[in-house]
Amino acid sequence: MFNLILYQPEIPPNTGNIIRLCANTGTALHLIRPLGFALENKQLRRAGLDYSEWADMQVHDSLPECLGHLQPPRLFACSTKGATDYVEPQYQPGDTFLFGPETRGLPEDILASTAVIRIPMRPESRSLNLSNAAAIILYEAWRQQEFRVE
Protein backbone atom coordinates (compact mmCIF):
# COMPACT_ATOMS: atom_id res chain seq x y z
CA MET A 1 0.00 0.00 0.00
CA PHE A 2 2.85 2.41 0.88
CA ASN A 3 6.57 2.65 0.16
CA LEU A 4 9.21 3.63 2.67
CA ILE A 5 12.65 4.69 1.46
CA LEU A 6 15.71 4.81 3.71
CA TYR A 7 18.30 7.04 2.09
CA GLN A 8 21.79 5.83 3.01
CA PRO A 9 20.83 4.28 6.38
CA GLU A 10 23.68 4.00 8.86
CA ILE A 11 22.55 2.09 11.97
CA PRO A 12 21.70 -1.62 11.58
CA PRO A 13 19.21 -1.92 14.48
CA ASN A 14 17.13 0.99 13.11
CA THR A 15 16.91 -0.66 9.70
CA GLY A 16 16.10 -4.00 11.34
CA ASN A 17 13.26 -2.40 13.29
CA ILE A 18 11.98 -0.79 10.08
CA ILE A 19 12.12 -4.13 8.24
CA ARG A 20 9.87 -5.51 10.95
CA LEU A 21 7.59 -2.44 10.76
CA CYS A 22 7.25 -2.78 6.99
CA ALA A 23 6.57 -6.52 7.16
CA ASN A 24 3.80 -5.93 9.69
CA THR A 25 2.14 -3.11 7.74
CA GLY A 26 2.53 -4.40 4.20
CA THR A 27 4.81 -1.52 3.28
CA ALA A 28 7.52 -1.97 0.64
CA LEU A 29 10.96 -0.98 1.94
CA HIS A 30 13.63 0.50 -0.31
CA LEU A 31 17.22 1.04 0.83
CA ILE A 32 19.47 3.50 -1.00
CA ARG A 33 23.22 2.81 -1.12
CA PRO A 34 25.68 3.32 0.35
CA LEU A 35 24.49 1.44 3.40
CA GLY A 36 26.38 1.93 6.65
CA PHE A 37 26.37 -1.83 7.26
CA ALA A 38 26.23 -5.19 5.51
CA LEU A 39 22.78 -6.69 5.06
CA GLU A 40 24.10 -9.78 6.84
CA ASN A 41 24.91 -7.71 9.96
CA LYS A 42 24.01 -9.48 13.23
CA GLN A 43 22.41 -6.38 14.75
CA LEU A 44 20.25 -5.91 11.67
CA ARG A 45 19.11 -9.54 11.78
CA ARG A 46 18.48 -9.40 15.54
CA ALA A 47 16.33 -6.25 15.32
CA GLY A 48 14.42 -7.55 12.29
CA LEU A 49 14.02 -11.01 13.85
CA ASP A 50 12.68 -13.33 11.18
CA TYR A 51 10.54 -10.64 9.56
CA SER A 52 12.92 -10.03 6.67
CA GLU A 53 11.47 -13.10 4.95
CA TRP A 54 8.05 -11.40 4.95
CA ALA A 55 9.28 -7.93 4.08
CA ASP A 56 9.18 -6.61 0.53
CA MET A 57 12.65 -5.06 0.48
CA GLN A 58 14.84 -3.84 -2.38
CA VAL A 59 18.22 -2.16 -2.46
CA HIS A 60 18.94 0.58 -5.02
CA ASP A 61 22.18 2.25 -6.07
CA SER A 62 20.71 5.76 -6.01
CA LEU A 63 17.58 7.71 -5.15
CA PRO A 64 16.84 8.56 -8.80
CA GLU A 65 17.05 4.85 -9.67
CA CYS A 66 14.64 4.01 -6.85
CA LEU A 67 12.17 6.74 -7.78
CA GLY A 68 12.35 5.72 -11.43
CA HIS A 69 11.49 2.18 -10.41
CA LEU A 70 8.63 3.21 -8.10
CA GLN A 71 7.23 6.18 -9.98
CA PRO A 72 5.36 7.17 -6.81
CA PRO A 73 2.30 9.34 -7.26
CA ARG A 74 3.41 11.35 -4.22
CA LEU A 75 6.66 11.55 -2.31
CA PHE A 76 6.95 12.90 1.23
CA ALA A 77 10.37 13.65 2.63
CA CYS A 78 10.34 13.24 6.41
CA SER A 79 12.53 15.72 8.22
CA THR A 80 12.77 17.92 11.30
CA LYS A 81 13.17 20.75 8.76
CA GLY A 82 9.64 20.35 7.42
CA ALA A 83 6.93 22.95 7.92
CA THR A 84 3.94 20.61 7.50
CA ASP A 85 2.93 18.37 10.41
CA TYR A 86 2.67 14.72 9.40
CA VAL A 87 -1.06 14.57 10.28
CA GLU A 88 -2.03 17.30 7.79
CA PRO A 89 -1.75 15.48 4.41
CA GLN A 90 -4.51 13.14 3.31
CA TYR A 91 -2.44 10.06 2.48
CA GLN A 92 -3.31 7.75 -0.38
CA PRO A 93 -2.28 4.22 -1.33
CA GLY A 94 1.02 4.36 -3.20
CA ASP A 95 2.36 7.31 -1.22
CA THR A 96 6.08 7.09 -0.54
CA PHE A 97 7.89 8.26 2.59
CA LEU A 98 11.58 9.16 2.39
CA PHE A 99 13.83 9.22 5.47
CA GLY A 100 17.45 10.34 5.62
CA PRO A 101 20.49 8.92 7.38
CA GLU A 102 20.47 9.03 11.16
CA THR A 103 23.45 11.35 11.64
CA ARG A 104 22.76 14.00 9.01
CA GLY A 105 19.23 13.73 7.62
CA LEU A 106 18.27 14.30 4.01
CA PRO A 107 20.41 16.57 1.81
CA GLU A 108 19.11 20.09 1.17
CA ASP A 109 18.64 19.48 -2.58
CA ILE A 110 16.24 16.61 -1.85
CA LEU A 111 14.34 18.66 0.73
CA ALA A 112 14.04 21.55 -1.74
CA SER A 113 12.52 19.36 -4.43
CA THR A 114 9.72 17.55 -2.59
CA ALA A 115 6.98 17.94 0.02
CA VAL A 116 8.50 17.80 3.50
CA ILE A 117 6.58 16.62 6.55
CA ARG A 118 7.65 16.69 10.17
CA ILE A 119 6.73 15.24 13.55
CA PRO A 120 6.17 18.00 16.13
CA MET A 121 8.59 17.98 19.05
CA ARG A 122 9.52 20.23 21.92
CA PRO A 123 11.60 23.21 20.70
CA GLU A 124 14.77 22.05 22.46
CA SER A 125 14.56 18.55 20.94
CA ARG A 126 16.81 17.64 18.03
CA SER A 127 15.20 14.54 16.53
CA LEU A 128 13.48 11.22 17.15
CA ASN A 129 14.97 7.80 16.56
CA LEU A 130 14.62 6.89 12.88
CA SER A 131 12.60 3.72 13.43
CA ASN A 132 10.26 5.52 15.85
CA ALA A 133 9.70 8.36 13.38
CA ALA A 134 9.03 5.89 10.56
CA ALA A 135 6.47 4.06 12.72
CA ILE A 136 4.65 7.27 13.71
CA ILE A 137 4.28 8.48 10.13
CA LEU A 138 3.52 5.10 8.57
CA TYR A 139 0.83 4.29 11.12
CA GLU A 140 -0.84 7.67 10.59
CA ALA A 141 -0.94 7.01 6.84
CA TRP A 142 -2.31 3.51 7.41
CA ARG A 143 -4.84 4.79 9.98
CA GLN A 144 -6.17 7.19 7.35
CA GLN A 145 -6.75 4.15 5.14
CA GLU A 146 -8.72 2.58 8.02
CA PHE A 147 -5.98 -0.06 8.35
CA ARG A 148 -7.13 -1.72 5.11
CA VAL A 149 -4.95 -4.52 3.84
CA GLU A 150 -4.53 -4.86 0.10
What local confidence, expressed as pLDDT, does residue 51 receive? 64
Q: What is the pLDDT of residues 93-150, one digit of tens each?
A: 999 999 999 999 999 999 999 999 999 999 999 999 999 999 999 999 999 999 999 7
Number of helices followed by number of strands (H, E) in the chain = 5, 7
pLDDT bucket at 42, cuts 50 / 70 / 90: confident
Domains of the chain: 3-144 (3.40.1280.10)
Cα end-to-end span (Å), the chain: 7
